[in-house]
Amino acid sequence: MNKNVMKKLIPDFLKQIDHKLMTSYPLVWRTRVHYFLFFALVGNLLAVILPTLAISVFGAFPSENFFYTGQVLGGVFSGFLLLFWGFDQQRFKMFPQTLKNHIATMGLYVICVLCVGSVFFTSTHTAVHQIAIKGSEGLGEEYYDFLRKNKLFDTYSDSYSSHLTTIKVAKAKEIMTFFNYSYTVVNDNYISMDYPYALRKKANVYDQAQAYYYEGSSQSYNSFSELFNIMMIGWLLALFLVPSFLMVLSGVGLPLTFITIGIQFFTGIGIVLLSFSSGYSGSELQLPMWYFLALLISLGCIASIVKPSTISRFMAWSTVPFIPLFMIMLYFTSLVNMKLEETLFFAIPYGLLFAGVSFILTGVMGYLVASRVELPKAK
């Protein structure tokens, strides 16, 4: 039943592309990049249409919790998608014969990660954009300042009544109508509302969205900048780690994959601690020789394989996650040595550069491993 439903969701032209790739380009077909590209296109269209309808047409004002909850749920969904994707890769164990195709496979994995990440960025950016343009520039700051000065949301009680002048009551009515917030005008000088703290959340989001969109200042801490930074860091880490995870999972299966990545993770933590203990001079973090020693040990593990076996395959594939972890440590080491303004400017370009080098070197390491163990090959 579920398979039939999924088949109906896939258009005929995509099925034709799938068949063509399976028969002519099995390595490309195996990555499922064509599905990621199609559903990323659909997902980005929905990520533009749905927030636009909800905010600009129906007048919704999502809270900060909505944005962060959305990211958490999206992260959980991405985790399940990664596991499903990994199991699918393990079902079809076809490894490239050439170094070029190994690197190309890593590049296709990166494209798939970018497709998933683009939906998150598009939906969040569209929502913030639609909130910000609901009124003129500076209106969010004006509304928030009025509500704060007149103490219309400085209470956690379920209901609240405020004594205002006639002019201020009219202004308060304007603001609450703008936010689609229910209120009751008791008389010309009294206005009553339920759950005033909910009004604060709406005013806060509007003020922050305008400050972020128009690059101004907000009345409170702007969490949207923090949200986009968290999304960017998560996206960069996925670019580093997901291609390596999929390659190792294809080679040794899920249980040993978690063991190998766990070993490399704690090894990486140890290297970081050694970096700070032996290489930190108070103002600059030096790149220690431990990095290169770990790399030599990894290459030695691969070179020591004489006869393929379960143990030798485990040893070989356990070296692959070292590359992205090595590049992540190298990346953050370079950021630590920068000034704050340089870090903010170079964080993304440096991250993309290091991620690019990471997936290329991961492809090289995968090629070295595949050439030492018995694995089914495909052109």
The reply to whether 7 falls in a domain is no
What is residue 373's predicted lDDT score, i.e. its pLDDT?
66
The parent domain of residue 190 ranges over 139-213
What is residue 290's predicted lDDT score, i.e. its pLDDT?
59
Q: Are residues 254 and 351 in the same domain?
A: yes
Express each pLDDT in 50-93 by its tens digit.
999 988 888 777 877 788 888 888 888 888 888 888 888 777 76
The reply to whether 1 falls in a domain is no
What is residue 143's predicted lDDT score, i.e. its pLDDT?
85
Q: Are residues 144 and 284 in the same domain?
A: no
Q: CATH number, domain at 169?
A: 1.10.10
For residues 344-356, give the mean pLDDT: 80
The pLDDT of residue 43 is above 80: yes
Which of 156, 185, 213 is a domain's end point? 213
* Number of compact structural domains in the chain: 2
- The model's pTM is 0.80
| SS3 track for the chain | CHHHHHHHHCCHHHHHHHHHHHHHCHHHHHHCHHHHHHHHHHHHHHHHHHHHHHHHHCCCCCCHHHHHHHHHHHHHHHHHHHHHHHHHHHHCCCEECCHHHHHHHHHHHHHHHHHHHHHHHHHHHHHHHHHHCCCCCCHHHHHHHHHHHCCCCCCCCCEEEEECCHHHHHHHHHHHHHCCCCEEEEECCEEEEECHHHHHHHHHHHHHHHHHHCCCCCCCCCHHHHHHHHHHHHHHHHHHHHHHHHHHHHHHCHHHHHHHHHHHHHHHHHHHHHHHHHHECCCCECCCCHHHHHHHHHHHHHHCCCCCCHHHHHHHHCCCCHHHHHHHHHHHHHHHCCCHHHHHHHHHHHHHHHHHHHHHHHHHHHHHHHCCCCCCEEC
The pLDDT of residue 40 is above 90: yes
Q: Are residues 114 and 56 in the same domain?
A: yes
Percent of the chain exceeding pLDDT 70 equals 73
What is residue 159's predicted lDDT score, i.e. its pLDDT?
54
Express each pLDDT in 295-334 by its tens digit.
666 666 666 655 666 666 777 777 777 788 778 877 877 7
